[in-house]
Amino acid sequence: MADLSRRRLFTRAAAVGAGVVSTGALVGTAPAVADRGTRGGSPPPFNPVTVQPGDTRYESFLRAHNTRFAGQPDRVTIAGSPNDVAEALGRAVGANRRVAIRSGGHCLENFTTTPDIKEIIELSQLKDVYFDEERKAFAFEPGAMVASTQGTLFKGWGVQIPSAGCSEVCLGGHILGGGYNFYSRIHGIAVDHLYAVEVVVVGADGQPRTIVATREANDPNRDLWWAHTGGGGGNFGVVTKYWLRTPGVDSTDPSRLLPRADNQRIRTMAWPWESMSQQDFTTLVRQYCQWFERNSAPGAQGVQVWASFSLSHKSAGVISLMAGVGKSVEGGEALLDGLFSAMTSGVRVQPSADSKYDLPWLDRDNWYWGAPGRQKDKTADLRKSYTDEQLGTIYRHLSDENFSDPGAQVNIAAIGGKINSVPKNATASVHRDSILRVYFTPGVWRDPAADDTYMSWVRNLYRDIYRNTGGVPVHNDINAGAYINYADNDLADPAWNTSGTPWHALYYGENYARLQQVKKRYDPRSVFRHALSVKPA
Ligand SMILES: Cc1cc2nc3c(=O)[nH]c(=O)nc-3n(C[C@H](O)[C@H](O)[C@H](O)COP(=O)(O)OP(=O)(O)OC[C@H]3O[C@@H](n4cnc5c(N)ncnc54)[C@H](O)[C@@H]3O)c2cc1C
């Protein structure tokens, strides 16, 4: 999918200085046609398209990746430039029509698919990735998919950004939520590299204007940049471009301005459910978590090892661990093996599979997580291992014979490391003392009649694990809240969150008050809102 011909080898439109680029109605920074390429016969720009009911294309935009939700927009504007975004936004606000922004459509909740949303501004055609010579930073349009982005960065410069494992997630929503992947233990999260963001906001007068906000200390819009370092999608305006460049690197060589990509040495192991006692399960998972308690401090050699432990439902037959280490890491394979020996020590169940192989970087770029379907997923961060009582609860739900789906799992992925070297308030992403991120899914299903079965399974599992803290991961010595990119509306529902701790404290902790101030300043009319949006101060 990545295509070097799309790489821009020249300077982009000059209208991108720090601060407000343009004020007033409908003025953006769309590149001129002549700026679309240097070769003869370059393709023309994508002109905006409006899709309305009655058009064959209309149905494809009613649902996003989670097909459990369907919207009823009057129109969908497929934008081809930031100007198109500003125009569509101005028109929708002027007509008092509720608007939502969609890039990759991978939101786990209904943020772009409620029936009261009357206009969708769709950004999937804004998908360029290139090195911006003027800013000395990599530029990313919001509709760029993770796989094509990583492919372009790797083929062009041998670099990468910490971004989702799913190849089809788009940077539009992804970076706004923080953006992490396996390599975040070594390189931090995506927003730790965010230099600037171009955003179309709507003022109190209802007029759109385009702002470029940077991390420079003297930028009058620095707070807007800060809100885009983990404040979550659909809150402040429409991002039409991100620029990333690792802070503190003094170089003009693009190949040094983002983390280097490394080929990987992988080890996988699986353990069969049929011979796994609760004691074995508990010991395996606890010892896995405890290895990361010992190996997740910023700068520790162990942060070179990443891991994803899929505690699949019994109907899958096995639980399985995938872990890896960069091939250039000295002693990396021994480190990797150290994890496996520590976690299996004293465990009686024997693995049914154990293999090692090399994975060239570009191959990891193509991980595809599957077609759209109905979903209800949940998440929580851990500062240390679950207790044996909590692990017993997980064992009980995973071996529940009344539910069956091989895709159902509790996935425990390693984070911490470099992520935790950043102060909590330096970015909007507050998760700076977690070591593990847990993802709960009942699998993906298609039949609406099965909604209750699937949703009850994952909701009851989560409620039971967190029964001592009101059904949700309220911060304490074990829990560290939840990650906004894995949005879960239940955290704002008193039926499922009985803790007395509001949803925003779980997602944003102490950073919420500042996000509210930014909201008040840059989105005074609350044009951008959804079930878990930041409320103005
Ligand atoms: C299969 C799968 C795997 C995932 N894996 C990971 C992972 O490994 N790591 C991780 O960190 N996250 C992961 N995620 C979560 C993902 O990062 C978020 O769901 C993200 O918000 C998706 O962005 P999107 O643009 O594809 O989605 P969308 O549904 O288009 O957008 C999500 C939210 O952001 C808003 N938004 C989108 N574009 C813009 C924009 N340009 N300006 C302003 N607001 C915008 C939308 O309005 C919406 O509120 C995964 C999600 C899925 C479904």
**What pLDDT, on the 0 to 100 scale, is given for residue 41?**
72
Q: What is the rounded CA–CA span in Å between residue 2 and residue 36?
A: 17
The structure's pTM equals: 0.92
Residue with the smallest CA separation from ligand 1 atom 52 is 106
pLDDT band per the 50, 70, 90 thresholds, residue 100: very high
| Residue ranges lining ligand 1, Cβ < 6 Å | 64-65, 100-108, 111-112, 123, 142, 164-166, 169-170, 172-174, 176-177, 179-181, 233-234, 238-239, 369, 485-486, 530
Point out the ligand 1 atom lying closest to the alpha carbon of residue 486: 15
Give the per-residue pLDDT at 167. 87
Where residue 165 falls among pLDDT bands split at 50, 70, 90? confident
What pLDDT, on the 0 to 100 scale, is given for residue 122? 98
Lowest mean pLDDT among 10-24, 393-407, 474-488: 10-24
Which tens digits make up the pLDDT trace of 8-37? 222 222 221 222 222 222 223 333 333 444
**Average pLDDT across the chain, whole number:** 92
Cα 66 to ligand 1 centroid, rounded to whole Å:
11
Separation CA 487–CA 372 (nearest Å): 17
CA of 199 to the centre of ligand 1 (A): 17
pLDDT score at 33: 36
pLDDT in the model for residue 10: 21
CA distances (Å), origin 20, targets 30, 172, 199, 219: 15, 20, 10, 10
Please write the tens of the pLDDT for every residue from 103-133: 999 999 999 999 999 999 999 999 999 999 9
**pLDDT at 355 exceeding the cut of 50:** yes
Task: Provide the pLDDT for residue 1.
Answer: 27
Q: What is the pLDDT of residue 32?
A: 35
Rounded to the nearest angstrom, the gap between the alpha carbon of residue 346 and the centroid of all alpha carbons in its chain is 36
- What confidence tens digit (pLDDT) does each residue in 123-160 have? 999 999 999 999 999 999 999 999 999 999 999 999 99
H helix runs in 427-510, sequence order: 451-465, 503-508
Tell me how far apart the terminal alpha carbons of the chain are, to the nearest angstrom. Answer: 43
Is residue 4's pLDDT more than 60?
no
pLDDT of residue 405: 98
Q: pLDDT tens for residues 254-284?
A: 999 999 999 999 999 999 999 999 999 999 9
Alpha helices per DSSP H over 345-449: 361-364, 388-398
Domains of the chain and any CATH numbers: 17-31+43-256 (3.30.465.10), 264-360+373-509 (3.40.462.20)
User: Which range (233-237, 362-366, 513-517, 533-537) has the least confidence?
Assistant: 362-366
